[in-house]
Amino acid sequence: MHESHESFEGYGQELRLLYKALEAEYDLAESLYTFGGHSFSFLSVLDSYALLDRISPEEFIKDEQMPYWAEIWPSAVTLSSFIADELSLKGLRVIEIGAGVGMASTVAAWKGAQVLATDYSLEALRFVRYNALKNRVTFENEQLDWRMVKCSEQFDLLFAADVLYERVNLLPIVTAIDKLLKPDGAAYLADPRRRLAEQFLELAAENNFSITSFPKKFTGGTKDVAVNIHKMTRQKNGQ
């Protein structure tokens, strides 16, 4: 691990200790990405399927939580690129739901946003913290269950990548977005064109959101992946 700059000297030790703790528990992968001409490094789990063995049947019945947080998905990369290239975030208050390892939150913080990164998985939040430290950005992180949002704050922008994969979650996510966004706020959801996304957008429209979709393409993997970024804003005067 290289030393941090002086302003992050205090974080250097935390970074090393956190890496050692994560290394003891997981097979790790560290990946380099460039967004907005800036180089970033992100730590994730080498094989998320290996984590399935850690989930007890009791835990699965309670939450049906799969370790999706542990990987970097094409939608997260596409959303991060969109944030870096196409959004002005300086001074805005931003929340990410289903943050995973915190890629989009890290890029948003680098762009000057005040960020709260959230995930249901406490394991994920340790990676979020590491990736913030590693990329020398500062933002908050906390656990959030989108089925029961307890956060009373409202945000200028909301980001989410690859969260539309369970039908049971579609309405809770619409409701969570409605609760977390300021009246004139906007949500950006990146999705690899799953069929469920169409149902989600219908639900969002029924709940007075207008949707604008931006077709994008992820080209960094073994094959290209078509990714849509859906911008949600509240309809004005019931229009």
Report the distance separating Cα 135 and Cα 114, nearest Å. Answer: 15
| CB-count burial class (<10 Å; 0-12, 13-18, 19+) for 171 | middle
The span from the CA of 165 to the CA of 35, in Å, is 26
What is the CA 50 to chain-centroid distance, rounded? 21
What are 101's strand-pairing partners? none
Query: What string of pLDDT tens digits covers the 239 residues of the chain?
Result: 333 344 556 678 999 999 999 999 998 999 999 999 999 999 999 887 666 565 555 554 445 556 688 889 999 999 999 999 999 999 999 999 999 999 999 999 999 999 999 999 999 999 999 999 999 999 999 999 999 999 999 999 999 999 998 899 999 999 999 999 999 999 999 999 999 999 999 999 999 999 999 999 999 878 899 999 999 999 986 54
Q: pTM for the full model? A: 0.90
Distances (CA, A) of 156 to 14, 66, 88, 146, 169: 31, 29, 12, 18, 23
What are the structural domains, with CATH classification, of the chain? 6-238 (3.40.50.150)
